């Protein structure tokens, strides 16, 4: 393996390791914010409060949960894209074998993609299914609310579009993964790429990709950094802390006072990362303007 390929492989591996750790953190966040079948969003009275009373305090928690849900859905899309590519190469390799070509499988390298560890290892599969279940329940719960204020309506629309625009039938995907998990089998990439689970066109092609020049109108840089804890974009914000191990940046670890502006379940979750990053590395000061 060339030095460049070896370095890219190692980079992909540590990124997946970080994703595995963050999935566990996401599940903890959803659990901390869950009261039975209801999520403590700070907007429990959203269906009757007039717009002028729906302050930023009331929607703090829902925006943070939306950030986590968006990250989990993006991870699911990346994982399923890898599965689609693997299943397509398997069909190509089968055709070659039928023609008498017994050379090395074209999909062997792709099937070794580190991202597939999310569904290949039983423990990590459990965490992935739990996180995806949280996202599904959260989206259903927010969709069931009746917002009166503009801010709450935006939050509800974003949550609904999050699933609708992904090209994934989350219920069907969860059912497939649950069945595989109960039968103690290794997840086959073919079973999660069926038409009943996902729409390939929507998975690979997003609406903004179909409009020329629309991507250039975005005010968000493609390479914009994200807060390693909250997954919020760091644009024009001073990242106060940086992980000494993975290099992740955050603004959360600097101010963890309980002044009432952040719902208590979220503040408690944030305090878990006051000393160490998601990856276990210690924080150090970072004063770079992003």
What is the pTM (predicted TM-score) of this model? Answer: 0.80
Answer for the pair 79, 54: CB distance below 8 angstroms, yes or no: no
Backbone φ/ψ region at 57: left (φ over 0), alpha (ψ -120 to 50), beta? alpha
- DSSP code of 103? S
**Sequence-ordered strand ranges (E) for 151-208:** none
pLDDT in tens, 183-211: 766 677 778 888 888 888 888 887 766 66
Q: Is the pLDDT assigned to residue 226 strictly greater than 80?
A: yes
CA distance 84 to 172: 16
Q: Is the pLDDT assigned to residue 8 strictly greater than 60?
A: yes
pLDDT in tens, 72-112: 999 999 999 988 888 776 554 455 555 555 444 444 444 57
Instruction: Give pLDDT, residue 185.
Output: 67
Instruction: Give pLDDT, residue 222.
Output: 59
Assign 102 to helix, strand or coil: coil
Sign of dihedral through CA atoms 75, 276, 240, 257? positive
Residues whose CB falls within 8 Å of the CB of residue 111, separated by 6 or more in sequence, listed in order: 86, 189
CA distance 105 to 210: 34
């Amino acid at each position: 393996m060339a030095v460049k390929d070896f370095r890219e492989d190692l980079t992909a591996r540590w990124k997946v390791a970080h994703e595995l750790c963050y999935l566990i953190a996401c599940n903890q966040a959803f659990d901390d914010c869950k009261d039975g079948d209801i999520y403590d969003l700070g907007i429990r009275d959203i269906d009757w409060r007039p717009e002028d009373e729906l302050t930023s305090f009331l929607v703090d928690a829902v925006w943070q949960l939306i950030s986590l849900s968006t990250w989990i859905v993006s991870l699911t899309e990346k994982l399923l894209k890898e599965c689609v590519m693997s299943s397509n190469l398997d069909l190509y390799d089968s055709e070659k074998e039928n023609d008498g070509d017994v050379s090395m499988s074209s999909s062997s390298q792709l099937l070794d993609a580190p991202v597939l560890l999310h569904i290949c290892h039983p423990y990590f599969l459990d965490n992935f299914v739990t996180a995806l279940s949280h996202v599904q329940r959260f989206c259903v719960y927010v969709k069931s609310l009746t917002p009166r204020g503009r801010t709450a309506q935006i939050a509800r629309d974003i949550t609904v579009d999050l699933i609708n625009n992904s090209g994934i039938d989350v219920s069907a995907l969860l059912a497939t993964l649950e069945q595989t998990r109960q039968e103690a089998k290794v997840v086959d990439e073919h079973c999660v790429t069926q038409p009943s689970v996902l729409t390939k066109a929507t998975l690979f092609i997003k609406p903004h990709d179909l409009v020329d020049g629309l991507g250039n109108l975005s005010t968000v840089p493609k390479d914009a950094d994200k807060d390693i804890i909250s997954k919020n974009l760091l644009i024009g914000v001073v990242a106060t802390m940086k992980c000494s191990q993975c290099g992740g940046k955050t603004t959360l670890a600097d101010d963890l006072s309980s002044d009432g502006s952040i719902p208590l379940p979220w503040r408690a979750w944030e305090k878990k990362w006051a000393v160490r990053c998601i990856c276990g590395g210690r924080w150090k000061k970072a004063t770079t303007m992003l």
